[in-house]
Amino acid sequence: MSFFHRPRPSHRSVPHTVQVPKSLVVNLIPLIERLLADDDDSSALRTAVRPFFFGERPRIAILKGEEVWFHLEGPQYECGGQVFPLGAQIFVADRGWLSLGPADAATLHAKLREAIDAAAYRWIIERGLLDQVRPLRAERNRRVDDRLALRQMAAAAGSIQQESEPDDD
């Protein structure tokens, strides 16, 4: 029996027709098929793209902390040798939303990216993982890796004994 249970939504199909430029069809059809499938991956993809449609401007970056969410709005423009987004909106827990102009948005985005880099490097170094970094991103074998990840979650939650990842050498 699975350690995790995710209820499956029951969907009713709604017919819809959209005209798409031929140049986009090659990329758009596989994306639509992945978004509309009734499985865990499609649910994850829909959840991932949902924040990009919150407002009138496209979100070009979303950085989330526990209490602060930073939504960088695009597109970006070059002006005077610098690159600026159109602005940003910040959600501050228990308070609401704050809008930033292009210059403040660019400055805060740079500071947040620096903080992410510093925190990630510190975490990697503290755990002695820097030597495990590889020049290419590892491919995932979904049939094996997803089941292993679910078992590792259960182990971290104290449900079962933890397994190690298989070597890819």
Per-residue pLDDT at 164 exceeds 90: no
Residue with tokens 């259960």: 154
Residue % of the chain over a pLDDT of 70: 84
Q: Which of the four pLDDT bands, split at 50, 70 and 90, describes residue 11?
A: low
Mean pLDDT of the chain: 85
Q: Which tokens go with 17? A: 């027709």
Task: Give the pLDDT mean for 143-167.
Answer: 79
| Segment 79-94, tens digit of pLDDT | 999 999 999 999 999 9
Task: Give the pLDDT mean for 1-11.
Answer: 52
Residue with tokens 């199909």: 13
The H or E element containing residue 142 is helix 142-156
pLDDT at res. 82: 93
| Segment 31-44, tens digit of pLDDT | 888 888 888 788 88
| Segment 114-144, tens digit of pLDDT | 999 999 999 999 999 999 999 999 998 988 9
Q: Which residues pair with 87 in a beta bridge?
A: 73
Sheet of strand 87-92: strand arrangement:
59-64, 68-73, 87-92, 96-100
Sign of the CA dihedral with 149 first, then 150, 151, and 155 last? positive
Reported pTM = 0.66
Task: Give the pLDDT mean for 88-105.
Answer: 96
